[in-house]
Amino acid sequence: MKKISTVAMLLAFLIAPLAMGAPTTETETVPDESQGLLLNGFWDNWYISIDGGASVFFSPEDEQLDFTKRIAPNAGLNFGKWWTPIFGTRIGVDYMSGNCAATSADAYGYMADALIAGTDNLHQQKFHGIRPHLDGMVDLINLFGGYNPSRIYSLVIYGGFGYGYGWAEDQDFNSGLWTTELRGGLINSFHVSDAIDVNIELKLSKYDSGFCQEIGEFNNLMASANVGVAYKFNERGWQAPVIPVVVPVVPKYSDAEGDALVQRLQEANNRIKDLEEELAAANDALARAEAACKEVGPAYTIYFDINQSSLNACNKKVVKAMADAIKADPNTKYVITGYADKETGTDAYNAKLREARAQSVYKMLVKNGVNPDQLTTATDTKPLNKFNYVLDRAATIKVVK
């Protein structure tokens, strides 16, 4: 019982500060996915992409060529990495081709036998090229809207440069031309799964003047539109940083409510103390009862509630067990004696109660198969237990000597 008191005091110690006033703030950690600068490991957020589409070349004489005849195929293969949700780089190689028009025989891919109808000296121009490149990328959606792992669309702007080799369609490959490229564009990226993106890429490239042998600010431009697919490796998302956030805490109880809780806790402690004292008294009475039983001799005792003579479910099981023991020795006779405490009830009432208790036990024994010839009933006005009158509310079964 000492443990009960100790626990109660600990509860009082813990609840008292709450009742007297709680702190107004506390600190907790939460993930903040709106942060742009999130960093994963070096081997995370890599991807490979492949794309293909059509391109149109722009040089001074191209307007005289039917537009549909200016469309040429192109393709690309890229390896890229996103260093943060906003910034990334990629390296790759493009195949490009051009269907153009030129007046100069020195123009790259000039076809001397392909005079364009309706012109005097405008010839078709066809060429191909393989060009490695390096680009820097910025995810505009994450830049302005913050990182969101459930977002299905990204708009990426990029810019870079390339340097590669080109050759004319009807000329020796070894007589090709090395050219530089400035490039930029937009990638519309649709995230169809964690690992797969479908991309629509729009690109504008500016080449040096070697293609047409004509110099001008807007010469040698190529616009292209490609569709491709990208596969992402390893960790594909971003782990949001865990940052401390101060969260206001509203006190649960007012001062008056806290005082009431303290008062109730004190009352509970007092009740626990009373129960400890009652338990100690009950243990002492039980010890005295055991001693008294030893003085009386071997007997079965059935205890009743105050003013009760009927057997409860527990007592019925005990009497049944007694019946089995009595039936095992049919030559032994028993007397069933009813008792009542003198502290409650009148003498006449207690006399009837003693008889009723003895009869209740008698009937239950017979019901469970005991031979009535082995049983007699009696009552006794003397106390059954001289230490505690509560234990006089009983009936005993003793062997007739």
- The pLDDT tens digits of the residues spanning 287-332 come to 765 554 454 444 689 999 988 999 998 889 889 988 998 999 899 9
Domain(s) labelled CATH 2.40.160.20 in the chain stretch across 46-242
pTM: 0.51
- Alpha-carbon span 187 to 185, nearest angstrom: 7
70 dihedral zone (left: phi>0; alpha: psi -120 to 50; beta): alpha
Residue range 195-216: mean pLDDT, rounded: 78
pLDDT tens for 43-82 read 889 999 999 999 998 877 777 778 888 899 999 999 999 9
Fold of the domain spanning 46-242: Porin (2.40.160)
Element (H, E) at 51: strand 46-58
Residues 240-269 pLDDT 10s = 555 555 656 666 667 888 888 889 999 999
The residues near 263 (Cβ < 8 Å, ≥ 6 apart) are none
Percent of the chain with pLDDT over 90: 40
Residue 270 has pLDDT above 70, yes or no: yes
> What number does CATH give the domain 298-399?
3.30.1330.60
Residues 6+ away with beta carbon under 8 Å from 237: 149, 194
Q: What is the pLDDT confidence band of residue 358, given thresholds at 50, 70 and 90?
A: very high
> Cα–Cα distance between 27 and 144 in angstroms, integer?
29
Q: What is the 3-state secondary structure (H, E, C) of 54-98?
A: EEEEECCCHHHCCHHHHEEEEEEEEEEEECCCCEEEEEEEEEEEE
Residue 384 DSSP class? S
Indicate whether 366 pLDDT > 80.
Answer: yes
Domain with CATH 3.30.1330.60 in the chain: 298-399
Integer Rg of the chain from CA: 51
